[in-house]
Amino acid sequence: MEAPLLHLALVGTPNSGKTSLFNALTGSRQKVANYPGVTVERKEGFFVTPLGRQVSVVDLPGTYSLRGRSPDEEITRDFVLGKASGEIVPDLVLCVADSTNLRLTIRLLLELKRTGRPMILVLNMFDIASRRGITVDVERLVKELGVPVVTSIAVRKGGTADLLALTDEISAKLAAEPQENSWRALSVSELRATQREADRIIADCVSLPARPDTWTARIDAVVLHPVGGLIVLALILFVMFQAVFAWAQPAMDLLKSGFDALGELVKATLPDGLLQSFLQDGVISGVGSVIVFLPQIILIFLFILLLEDFGYMARAAFLMDRIMGGAGLHGRAFIPLLSSFACAIPGIMATRVIDNKRDRLTTILIAPLMTCSARIPVYTLIISAFIPAKDVWGFINLQGLVMFGLYVTGIVSALAVSFVIKFFMIRDYAPAPFMLELPDYKLPRLKSIAIGIYTRAKMFLQRAGTTIFSMMVLIWFLASFPQPPAGSTEPAIDFSLAAIIGKALEPLLAPVGFNWQIAVALIPGMAAREVAVAALGTVYSIEGGKEAAEQIGQVLATKWSLATALSMLAWYIFAPQCASTLAVIRRETGSWGWMAVTFTYMLVLAYAASLVTYNVAVALGAG
Amino acid sequence: MTDHDEKRPHMPLGLALRGYTGVIQHLSTKDTGSALSDIELESRLIELGFVEGARVEVLHEGLVGRDPIAVRVDSITIAVRRREAMAIIVA
């Protein structure tokens, strides 16, 4: 008879290396979902122990205590206590500690012990501790704490062997004596007493070197310098955006020619007709034009994950705290806002680290103004069609500069909106505290980052395969039917449903310089912003024939005026149309009202910005 | 605690400048002007390792108003605003 699935839970303070241990244990066998009713990410993975026991492990949100002062921390507490709805009580809790920094974890562990759950203390990053000259008397620690202790090096192959062996050993004799849960929220004096106890145990079992990590001190001397630090931050962001625009190009060209070749193949093999048009115009040129942006999305996540793993994100929050405070934002909002450059959805979900409700709401409302990666396809297409690829001052690419300008405009608008919110809506504003651990720098764990990027790329491709694909089929259908009457000389699309809808909307969008083709493209852009590009591709390729599909950029350059192109760029800085972001805002704020507010204010800003851009451009002769 | 520490004047960490080193004497969360309640602020400070007897050093200061500060607390570094650091009495 096979033993039942063993349920493990990973608990630890932020920065304890919990996630890299999780990645080391489970590899890519991970399932990411949400806990019922809340938008806390639930990460579960699976592995098999050396003795063949099937194990499921849940990576719980990082916490310093079981008090549960944020939705994340409540999940961790309820999960360990077995109170989380629809969850199985974990058979074994792995309390993960950064071996170089045991103080806070040992205190957490003493609190966790009161829950009576079987537990192992995992001294993670043990190699770094040894290298720094930190020695841990593991046997004594076991005796003092009364729980098994094991060392691990999550980033090294075989570094979790001891942990796996111990898991087997303990799971064999589990369920013998179910223990009482005596946990209740600690009072301040109990908290203080546990920290004292933890400090005493550490003093007895751990010997620290005289000097702290000198590398961290040296890097911080530059990176946290009041002025130098901000320059470094600006440089990092600048390099990031130049890289996303320039480095991804070769890979994108490769993907693009791949899809073009595929389209040609379909054209050559299939007879002319609806099926050929569906495959070439609808599927390949539509979905293909979105998948082409995979390299850029991978790059932006690579930067964000690298900075996070290195330990820089907390420093960025430190540097930006007061500066963002001027606009009514909390320093912790920096991380969610930076993630929003990849996608507003993880960004909005990351606002959970802000425990003050108002700070969190402000951050959620402005997160969609950060230029997400889904806008990159739109920007790239228009910029490469309308902005010459020349160098300014010899070394800065003008296209890259325009891209950078669009990002900056997004950021400035976000700060302005936040300022307005602070001024008009939340007048009795008392700044929430900013307290954040600045972890020692660590070399990014390549395997962990690879897994992180893999998960995100998979999500993007799944979206391309489902949402975007179905939108493209719809667009193709709208643009192809009804078919033109026999013998008509005008382009087929003029008779289609798409043209009817687009032309109905045209009067509304004419003042900002949008033609009916753009109006058609904006509608499916509601599902996902990047679809607008694909939709334009489909509309123009059905209108203009096969040649047009291959060179959508060139087609736009002939069909649009520069003013229309600039207006479209301005529109997309604010572009409110992304149904999934709106859905996440509704979920996170628990209110349709805030979702409506976000949608309306962004729509108004988009329309106003386009109106101004278009009219100024026309007045300057770009019409 | 040495005699040397006893003689040094007690002051809130919130007023300390970069380079200051000292030992935490006690926490006094009354009237700091923090948005948190006294108990909540005290709990959070303890959870981040600000307990009596811990050695602190002010490592870095922010650009605007020398705020926030990065404080070495025994073996870890914590970023905190001066407003909350007023609750930490050091000498």
pLDDT category of residue A12 using cuts at 50, 70 and 90? very high
A101, A191, A192 member nearest B75 (Cβ): A101
φ, ψ at A414 (rounded to 5°): -60, -45
B residues 31-70 near A, CB within 8 Å?
34-36, 39-49, 51-53, 59-65, 67-68, 70
State the count of interchain CB pairs (< 8 A) between A and B: 125
pLDDT category of residue A175 using cuts at 50, 70 and 90? low
Q: What is the pLDDT of residues A338-391, one digit of tens each?
A: 778 777 777 787 777 676 777 888 889 999 998 887 787 788 888 888 888 777
The overall longest dimension of chain B from CA atoms, in Å, is 36
- Segment holding B76, helix H or strand E: strand B76-80
Taking residues A613-621, what's their average pLDDT?
88
Nearest to A117 by CA among A56, A179, A209: A179
Residues 6 or more apart in contact with residue A17 via CB below 8 angstroms: A96, A98, A124, A125, A154
Q: What is the DSSP letter of A433?
A: P
Number of CB atoms found within 10 A of residue A608's CB: 13
Q: What is the DSSP letter of A494?
A: G
Peptide bond into B68 cis (omega under 30): yes
Nearest to A578 by CA among A283, A285, A378, A425: A378
pLDDT category of residue B25 using cuts at 50, 70 and 90? very high
Apex CA A421: angle with CA A420 and CA A424, to 5°? 80
Between the two ends of chain A, the Cα-to-Cα distance in Å is 77
Taking residues A15-27, what's their average pLDDT?
85
Q: Is the pLDDT of residue A181 over 80?
A: no
Q: What is the pLDDT of residues A78-98, one digit of tens each?
A: 888 888 777 788 889 999 998
Please indicate if any CB of chain B lies within 8 Å of the CB of A374: no
Q: Is the pLDDT of residue A475 over 50?
A: yes
The overall longest dimension of chain A from CA atoms, in Å, is 93
Percent of chain A scored above 70 by pLDDT?
87
Q: Which neighbouring-strand residues pair with B58?
A: B71
Distance from CA of A605 to the nearest CA of B (A): 31
Taking residues A451-461, what's their average pLDDT?
79
C-beta atoms of A322 and B68 within 8 A? yes
d(CA A308, CA A169): 35
A195, A227, A314 member nearest B46 (Cβ): A195
Taking residues A143-171, what's their average pLDDT?
85
Is the CB of residue B20 less than 8 Å from the CB of residue A415?
A: no
pLDDT category of residue A2 using cuts at 50, 70 and 90? low
Q: Is the pLDDT of residue B3 over 60?
A: no
φ, ψ at A481 (rounded to 5°): -120, 150
Peptide bond into A212 cis (omega under 30): no
d(CA A254, CA A252): 5
Distance from the Cα of residue A315 to its chain's centroid: 19
- Across A56-81, b (16+ Cβ under 10 Å) vs e yields bbbbbbbbbbbbebbbbbbbbbbbbb
- Measured between beta carbons, which residues in chain A are less than 8 angstroms from residue B67? 321-322
Q: Is the pLDDT of residue A182 over 90?
A: no
> Looking at residue A231, what is its pLDDT?
93
Distance from CA of B4 to the nearest CA of A (A): 21
Q: Chain-wide mean pLDDT for chain A?
A: 81
Which of the residue ranges A32-36, A81-85, A558-562 has the most confident prediction, judged by mean pLDDT?
A558-562
Number of CB atoms found within 10 A of residue A487's CB: 5
Minimum mean pLDDT range among A125-139, A291-305, A473-487, A538-552: A538-552
Choose from A435, A441, A442 for mutation: most chain B CBs within 10 A: A435
Is the CB of residue A579 less than 8 Å from the CB of residue A525?
A: no
C-beta atoms of A433 and B36 within 8 A? yes
- Measured between beta carbons, which residues in chain B are less than 8 angstroms from residue A199? 51, 53
Please determine, looking at this structure, whether the domain spanning A6-207 carries the CATH number 3.40.50.300. yes
Q: Which residue of B has its CA nearest to A325?
A: B64
Q: Is the pLDDT of residue A524 over 80?
A: no
Nearest to A124 by CA among A261, A281, A15: A15
> Looking at residue A208, what is its pLDDT?
78
Say which CATH topology domain B3-90 has: SH3 type barrels. (2.30.30)
pLDDT category of residue A172 using cuts at 50, 70 and 90? confident
What tokens does A83 get? Answer: 């109170």
Q: Is the pLDDT of residue A134 over 90?
A: no
C-beta atoms of A322 and B51 within 8 A? no
> Looking at residue A549, what is its pLDDT?
46
> Looking at residue A40, what is its pLDDT?
65
> Looking at residue B89, what is its pLDDT?
94
Q: What is the pLDDT of residues B47-61, one digit of tens each?
A: 898 999 899 999 999
Q: What is the pLDDT of residues A242-289, one digit of tens each?
A: 777 678 778 878 887 888 888 888 888 888 777 877 787 777 776 776
Q: What is the pLDDT of residues A197-245, one digit of tens each?
A: 998 999 899 887 766 667 888 899 999 998 999 999 989 887 877 777 6
> Looking at residue B4, what is its pLDDT?
54
C-beta atoms of B48 and A430 within 8 A? no
> Looking at residue A176, what is its pLDDT?
54
* Structural domain spans, chain A: 6-207, 247-292+446-560
What's the Cα-to-Cα distance from B48 to each of A183, A422, A443, B2, B13, rounded to whole Å? 20, 29, 24, 25, 15
So what's the ipTM on this one? 0.91
> Looking at residue B14, what is its pLDDT?
92
Distance from CA of B2 to the nearest CA of A (A): 19
Dihedral (Cα; A347, B76, A226, A414), 10-degree rounding: 10
